[in-house]
Structures are given as C-alpha cells and as structure tokens.
Amino acid sequence: MSLSEGFSLDDIMKLSLKQDEGKEPKVEDLAQKLRKLQQAKRALEEELLEAQTLKDNLHHEEENLCAESFQLEVTLKEKEESLRVLQFKCEEMDQDSQRQQQQSKQKEERVEQYRCQIQEATFKHRKTRMKFENQLQQLMGQHKNLFAMFLPERLPAEILTAENTTAQLLKAEKLRMEQLAEQQQDLSDIEKISRPIEIDMELLTTEV
C-alpha cells in the first residue's frame, strides 16, 4: 500500500533492519529517515482523513438511504392503500354498471311493451276510426237520400202520398174494427145459445 510518492512500508522496514545490524547511523541518514517518517505520518494522516471523510460520507449516504427507504415504505403503504381503495371503487363501479345494465334492460323491455301497447291501441283506434268513417258515410248517404226525398219540389207529392197512405190505413183499421165487432157479436150469440144447453146438461146429470 503506497503512503506517499517515493516512500513505502518497505522503506521503513529496510531502515529498521539497517539499525538492527549494529552500524552507527549517520546524522544525515537519521534526518532523512525522520523526514521520510514525517512524510509517511502526513500521508497516513491524509489517508486517515480521507478514510474518515469517506466513512462520514458513507454514513451520511446510509442515513439518506435509510430515510429514503423509510419514505419509500411509507409511499408503498400509501400506494397499497390507494390501490385497495381503487379496487373497492372498481368493484363498486362494476356492480353499479351491472345494476345499470339490468335497469337499462328492464327499461328496454318496458319500452318494447309500451311500444306494443301503443301499436295495439293505434290499430284499435284506426279500426274504430274506419268504422266511424263508414258509419259517417252511411249517415251522409242516408242524409242525402232523405234530403233528396224531402226536397221542396217533392213535398206536395210526398204529402199527398202520406195522406193517401193514412186514409188507407184508417180505412183498413175501420174495417178491422167492424170485423172485430162482428166477431164479438157472434161470440156473444154463441155464448147465449150454449148457456141453456149447459143448464140442461147439469139438470140431466143431477137427475141421474
């Protein structure tokens, strides 16, 4: 692992081994080794600072991720609740749609029934109207005949005919009355004749 440019842990190990061999180190060597050790310390401090900074960044990122995960869980629960509500509404809408379809079908059946009733009533009305028109035409024909019969020009002849018919009817009525009177007289005479015979029959029955 590199600590700084031109200096590594291997160099530190070499310096230590040279010291262990029993040779008297020079001041320049010691100063150079001290400088290298100071550089290594600074490099280690920098790397430690970078590591701490990275750790802090990672910790901060972890906190952000945890917060985001919590928020996502809350959002997920809200979405699930919204989904349940939407599913419930969809079920209600489906039920309403089915009820509306059933009601629409019933209304269509009623409309068809009313249409048939209207057609039947229209047919009856047309039939009644035709019958009325025929009767009206007959009445108009009779009216025309009566009007033609009782025209002022024909009135004297009609009156004369009516008078002759009345006279004939009166004569026939008088004749019938006379015949009826004769029949009543004959019946009365027959009763007068038959009464003594009935009395004699009663006397004969009594004597016997």
Dist CA 155 CA 4 (whole Å): 155
Each residue's pLDDT, cut to its tens digit, for the chain (208 residues) gives: 444 444 455 555 555 545 545 556 677 878 888 888 888 888 899 999 999 999 999 999 999 999 999 999 999 999 999 999 999 999 999 898 899 899 888 888 888 888 888 888 888 878 888 887 888 788 777 767 766 666 666 667 777 887 888 888 888 888 988 888 888 887 877 777 766 555 555 555 555 5
Closest residue by Cα to residue 160 from 168, 145, 142, 176: 168
Phi and psi, residue 24, nearest 5°: -80, 115
pLDDT tens digits, one per residue of 3-20: 444 445 555 555 554 554
Question: What SS3 state is found at 207?
Answer: helix
Distance CA 58, CA 71 (A): 19
**Helix, strand, coil fractions of the chain, as percent rounded to 5:** 90, 0, 5
